[in-house]
Amino acid sequence: MQTAPNLMPIPGHVDPVPVPRATPARADGKVDLVGLTRDQIRAELEAAGMEPKQAKLRSKQLWHWIYNRGATSFETMTDIAKAQHPWLDQRFTVDRPAVVEAQVSSDGTRKWLLRSTDGHDFEMVFIPDADRGTLCVSSQVGCTLNCRFCHTGTMRLVRNLTPGEIVGQVMLARDSLGEWPSQPEGRMLTNIVMMGMGEPLYNFDAVRDALKIVMDGDGLALSKRRITLSTSGVVPMMARAGEEIGVNLAVSLHAVTKEVRDEIVPLNKKYGIEELLAACAAYPGANNARRITFEYVMLKDKNDSDADAHELVRLIRKYKLPAKVNLIPFNPWEGAAYECSTPERIRSFSNIVFEAGISAPVRTPRGRDIDAACGQLKTSAEKRSRAELDRLAEEKQAALG
């Protein structure tokens, strides 16, 4: 296999396709400041020749304008000398991911198809509720983990998103909701879940750096209590997530036996259920006021029996976990190997867990009509290229005669 620098093989695929890991430099040669910390902004200014003392001051001002005020150009930055705007403009930019498509569901859920500067597509979803608004953010283009029930896991192309592309999603949502400058009251975007495309703990550094900016009081200023990171169970990274990011943890458990979890979440072969639950018990900051969410997708005749529900309760008790269980009705997609459990089955499962004193709400699927629901995220890029191939084949056919 090709081993050029910056290329990342995709585990789990028979025929791995190497894809670029780092974002190539922008075609215009400018450095995008979105996603950079104060120190990184300062270093970029100095590298471009700005005198250190001035760079220190400017980096603070730039930070405030970018993350607190949502500025997208230098000319609006009124406390930075006008004469300096062109200098900044020639070297730097304040960008968002490009919007390829924006869709609104009949239930108000919004989905955006976004494109990176090097042409990779990823998605972001906003779910408005009466008392909150949740942005579902992607951490990777595609996902290498291949969970059998998840559409994202079938994408062949995978690339880590950069901190800029992750923070950029939140900034874009703020743009479209008109929520600048950052303010504590009356926001529509109140919560963030790292539950879009990708496995956030396989892109740890970028996710951490991005969320630090999101949580900074003079940045996007969202409290860590309103941010949830969902992992399929990357055990070795969980303690670091608790210590270095400190957000709420959600774990995609989905099964209570080795046999079933090995099948539907293949990562289980590497980090088993007991190991995963022990890591949850040790998760820094988890307590009764901040419970760990266990996500459990309801798959007909696969993981949805009363015995499974009892076993789930036993495991949660065994590890003394401050837990709540989110039951997610399986969202079907074309070609999926599973069906959703019946409503009666889901109710029975939920009751057993609930009667054991553990909250077990059934999550209402949102945005199904625009393929925005959990596990349905898979960019249309692949579908489109298939359609394009078909069109090309037709044209060729027509040309031939």
User: Rule CB under 6 A: which residues touch ligand SF4?
Assistant: 143, 145-147, 150, 152-153, 198-199, 232, 252
CB count, 10 Å around CB of 392? 10
Q: What are phi and psi of 266, to 5 degrees?
A: -55, -20
- Out of 44, 123, 165, 263, the active site residue is 123
The partner in contact with residue 257, picked from ligand SF4, ligand SAH, none with C-beta cut-offs of 5 to 8 angstroms by kind, is none
H-helix or E-strand containing 25?
none
Residue 96 or 378: the one with the smaller Cβ distance to ligand SF4 is: 378
H-helix or E-strand containing 186?
none
Binding of residue 204 to ligand SAH (CB under 6 A): no
* Residue 201 Cβ vs ligand SAH, minimum distance, rounded to whole Å: 8
Q: How far apart are CA 220 and CA 179, in angstroms?
A: 10
Residue 235 or 328: the one with the smaller Cβ distance to ligand SAH is: 328
Residue 13 or 82: the one with the smaller Cβ distance to ligand SAH is: 13
Q: Which residue is nearest to ligand SAH (CB)?
A: 375
* Residue 147 Cβ vs ligand SAH, minimum distance, rounded to whole Å: 6
Binder to ligand SAH among 74, 92, 112, 149 (CB under 6 A)? 149
* Residue 205 Cβ vs ligand SF4, minimum distance, rounded to whole Å: 18
Which of these ranges, 215-223, 224-232, 286-294, 391-399, lies near ligand SAH under the rule CB under 6 A? 224-232
Q: How far apart are CA 232 and CA 157, in angstroms?
A: 19
CA 80 to mean position of chain CA atoms: 34
Backbone dihedral region for residue 125 (phi beyond 0: left; psi -120 to 50: alpha; all else: beta): beta
Q: What are phi and psi of 78, to 5 degrees?
A: -70, -25
Q: Which two tokens stand for residue 137?
A: 């953010």
User: Is 147 a known active-site residue?
Assistant: no
- Encoded one letter per residue, x for contact with ligand SAH by CB under 6 A and - for no contact, window 150-169 reads x-------------------
User: Is 374 a known active-site residue?
Assistant: yes
Q: Which two tokens stand for residue 308?
A: 């499974």
Pair 249, 295: CB distance under 8 Å = no
Nearest to 121 by CA among 169, 178, 167, 82: 169
Q: What is the separation, in whole angstroms, between the first and last Cα of the chain?
A: 40
Binding of residue 374 to ligand SAH (CB under 6 A): yes
Binding of residue 330 to ligand SAH (CB under 6 A): yes
Binding of residue 228 to ligand SAH (CB under 6 A): no
Q: Which amino acid is at 239?
A: A
- Out of 274, 334, 374, 394, the active site residue is 374
Binding of residue 328 to ligand SAH (CB under 6 A): yes
* Residue 157 Cβ vs ligand SAH, minimum distance, rounded to whole Å: 16
Longest Cα separation, the chain: 72
Tracing tokens 């960019």 back to the chain, one arrives at 379
Binding of residue 203 to ligand SAH (CB under 6 A): no
Nearest to 98 by CA among 68, 78, 118, 69: 118
Nearest to 182 by CA among 193, 191, 173, 174: 174
Residue 86 or 236: the one with the smaller Cβ distance to ligand SF4 is: 236
Which of these ranges, 141-149, 161-169, 175-183, 306-314, lies near ligand SAH under the rule CB under 6 A? 141-149
Q: Which residue is nearest to ligand SF4 (CB)?
A: 153
Residues annotated as catalytic are 123, 374
Binding site for ligand SAH (CB under 6 A): 143, 147, 149-150, 195, 199, 230-232, 252, 295, 297, 328, 330-331, 374-375
